[in-house]
Amino acid sequence: MIRIAICDDEVKVGAELEEMVGKILAPMKVKYEVDVLFAPEELERQMRQGVVYDLLFLDIEYLTSSKNGIELAKLIRDVYLNNRVSIVFISRESKYALELFQVQPLDFLVKPLDEGKVGNVLRKYVELSGIWKKEFSYKKGRNVYKVQVQDIVYVESVGRKVFLHLVNQEEVEFYGSIGEVYEQLKAYDFLHIHASYVVNYDHIASLTFDRVKLAQGGADLPISRHRQDEVRSVYQAIFERRML
């Protein structure tokens, strides 16, 4: 089940986008629910009340509100520390690329909305969601265990031991090499930032030249000096691929 919110103060746009979502997802046999909201404050109220969305379509400019979609997205990322929800911005302007980079959107659509482009976004979201069904396997003794890739916030190496730090605050410990772990995880947008750390792109709250701050748990990790250019390059490549 995909829980979707459309937040746009143009009633016609909201209705058209809701109809497009249904026409695209129904043949894909994807279960979904859509809430159509008309102001950032309405969406913020829903989230404060505990409503969890998987995918947001956010207009950028609202005539009826002093808050815009980018400010709302920053609130979701920086205050609610929600890096799991996918955000798609919609606007009549195409001038916001630099600002959008800060909140890691899934995509950007220009009005009037094109059903083909909306379909590309939805298919990309469904495909990326499928990635999160992947499992990471590790051994403890003679036993093999599995953990969902989406639940790994970051990986830490201490001596001969590897620790998986999970979204529920638990740690999974086993003997192994962080290099071998990274080889399994890099296809799912993990970054090898340090000899001791591998981090999940989708849990990064902020990235500077030499530090990574994670949204889940707030861990602040160093980037090795010799990895700084590579990390920024990989991070940018992931961002650009998801914006296609």
Residue pLDDT, tens place only, 8-19: 999 999 999 999
Q: pTM (2 decimals)? A: 0.56
User: What range defines the domain where residue 140 resides?
Assistant: 135-243
Q: What are the beta bridge partners of residue 175?
A: 161
Question: Each residue of 184-203: pLDDT tens digit?
Answer: 898 788 999 999 999 999 89
CATH number at residue 84: 3.40.50.2300
CATH number at residue 158: 2.40.50.1020
User: Are residues 8 and 55 both part of a single domain?
Assistant: yes
User: Are residues 124 and 188 both part of a single domain?
Assistant: no
Per-residue pLDDT band for 131 (boundaries 50, 70, 90) equals very low
Q: Is the pLDDT of residue 244 over 70?
A: no
Number of domains in the chain: 2
The whole-angstrom distance between residue 204's C-alpha and the CA centroid of its chain comes to: 9
